[in-house]
Amino acid sequence: MSKKIKIADLPEFDITEHLDSDEAIAEYLTVILEDNDPALLAAALGDIARARGMTEIAKASGLTREALYKALRPTASPRFDTIAKVCKALGVKLTAQTLAV
């Protein structure tokens, strides 16, 4: 019989450890965008910014670190211009495609 593992004994999952390439980041954003959830998108961009270095992304986007953390928290509803600045700083772009019917 196998030993039972308690959930409390499992390590905490941190997605930033897996966002180590441009391809991984693009795939992560693609999956997130399929949910059509602005708060989830903000949180995902926050994950990517943390993986790349929040201070560096803040400087590149023209936002303060504090503003970036605030805009990209899971409960946030950032403005599109903020999303656009962060995407540009991350080196990614959001694209549109037709819906499959």
- List pLDDT tens digits, range 58-86: 999 999 999 999 999 888 888 999 999 99
Determine the Cα–Cα distance for residues 89 and 84; give it in Å rounded to an integer.
9
Q: CA–CA separation, 98 vs 48, rounded Å?
A: 26
The mean pLDDT value for 84-96 works out to: 91
Domain boundaries, the chain: 22-90
Q: What is the pTM of this model?
A: 0.82
Token couple for 12: 């905490």
- Give 64-73 contacts, CB < 8 A, sequence gap 24+: 71/42, 72/42, 72/43, 72/45, 72/46, 73/42, 73/43, 73/46
**Which among 79, 15, 86 has a CA at the least distance from the CA of 47?**
15
